[in-house]
A = this chain, B = another copy of it.
């Protein structure tokens, strides 16, 4: 055990891996940022590279029905499930080099370190690359870790049918790049002992507090609603201003109100990131506009409170517009607040403090959603797992969301309850708190430090499983 504590990941190799793979696959034009959309050619190529690298350090590689990659280095025990590390390799349309990418490349660095030191672990150790975490190409963030966690055939089929802006379905895209696997995308059939995810904070807290590592104890709640505003088409040069039913004007008033209410109530974050207009013609009054509201707060209750304030405001806007337009809430997706497991949180904390010898650490919750949060939900929140229900058809939209959150609507919540997997996360600072932006930055030293904590957390968890302290 003492030997293992001397193990050091290779920070130069890790940072070279991050920079060289970003430069090779998905570099954003005229920028150092990234555009590596899920299941794109760039995503295929980085996946092929990852699989090859994992095989080179003695891993068996499985691809599941949603394209999630599980690369597993065998352990001595024949009956233990893997201790897993992972994140995602896809990015936002104009994203950075660390969000998701750090978690996967650091996991590879851990595997490389174990391999070159010929370490024999008790449990198998897995690296996971989750498909379409960003939800930027196929709407629905954390999509494929969600399917794996939810254990629902309906969810699998619903996600297969989701289409990108060009009308290509998720299933077609998986087939096209050769990542439609046959391993069941189901945490029961392809389970894990526990799951650790290293990630950049994507916020300003660590930097502001002068800390270098965050021990993540949970993730804030989040919920999306798609709003569809309907008006009446008309000629822009002849329809009197006072008799119009302009869906875009109403939607604009609403989008501004969403921001204003989040500002004035200080309950959390509210953002509109997607807007579509059915007609898109310069000389036509828009008749159908759709936009998606993303709300994130520290608890489920506060998310509901903020949405309540928003919907009261949207109703008021429609009234002030003399009911010339209508709106409806088309569908939603959401992730309840999640609390990570004490076993995992404890291991991360002791890895940072005892094994790596850090003092600049802090406990924190994540404001962003991560694959890790989907994993952790069912353990602590009976009835709160994200579930898939009936798909409503939206005829005119480029975007179709097929998720509905079941928190308040599930007839029999208990049937969704079961243990998924014990989870925690490790955060490292984001310069200026900036993320989902080409200028996203985490220093090479912080990347290496995070990977070192990840390595030690995995080793420590393996030791306590072997010792029988954790069953």
Q: Is the CB of B237 within 8 A of A202?
A: yes
Task: List CB contacts (< 8 Å) of A239-278 with chain B.
Answer: 239-242, 246, 248-249, 251-253, 255-256, 259, 262-263, 269-275, 277-278
Q: Is the CB of B283 within 8 A of A238?
A: no
Quickly give the copy total for this chain: 2
A218 shortest CB reach to chain B, Å: 13
Q: Is the CB of A235 within 8 A of B283?
A: no
Q: Mark A409-451, 1 if CB is under 8 A from B, else 0.
A: 0000000000000000000001001111110000000000000
Q: Is the CB of B275 within 8 A of A248?
A: yes
Q: Is the CB of A279 within 8 A of B235?
A: no
Nearest residue (CB) in B for A368 is B237
Asked if A280 CB lies within 8 Å of chain B CBs, one says yes
A13 shortest CB reach to chain B, Å: 28
Q: Is the CB of A92 within 8 A of B273?
A: no
Chain A interface size, as a band, is 35 or more
Q: Is the CB of B281 within 8 A of A204?
A: no
Given the known A-B contacts A242-B263, A256-B253, are A248 and B272 also in contact in the complex, defined by CB atoms under 8 Å? yes
Asked if A82 CB lies within 8 Å of chain B CBs, one says no
Nearest residue (CB) in B for A37 is B281
Stretch in A108-116, A285-293, A355-363 with 4+ CB within 8 Å of B: A285-293
Q: Is the CB of B296 within 8 A of A271?
A: no
Q: How far is the CA of A109 from the CA of B70 in the complex (A)?
A: 71
Q: Is the CB of A256 within 8 A of B252?
A: yes
Q: How far is the CA of A246 from the CA of B274 in the complex (A)?
A: 12
Task: List CB contacts (< 8 Å) of A173-216 with chain B.
Answer: 201-204
Most buried by B among A95, A234, A368: A234
Stretch in A15-23, A43-51, A135-143, A385-393 with 4+ CB within 8 Å of B: A135-143
Q: Is the CB of B286 within 8 A of A273?
A: yes
Across the interface, which residues of B come within 8 angstroms of A165, CB to CB?
Answer: 280
Q: Is the CB of A274 within 8 A of B280?
A: yes
20 contacts between A and B (CB under 8 A): A92-B281, A93-B278, A93-B280, A94-B279, A136-B283, A141-B282, A141-B283, A202-B238, A233-B436, A234-B435, A238-B435, A241-B269, A241-B270, A248-B273, A248-B275, A252-B252, A274-B280, A274-B281, A275-B275, A280-B399
**6 nearest A-B residue pairs (beta carbon):** A203-B238, A236-B271, A252-B252, A252-B255, A233-B437, A235-B435
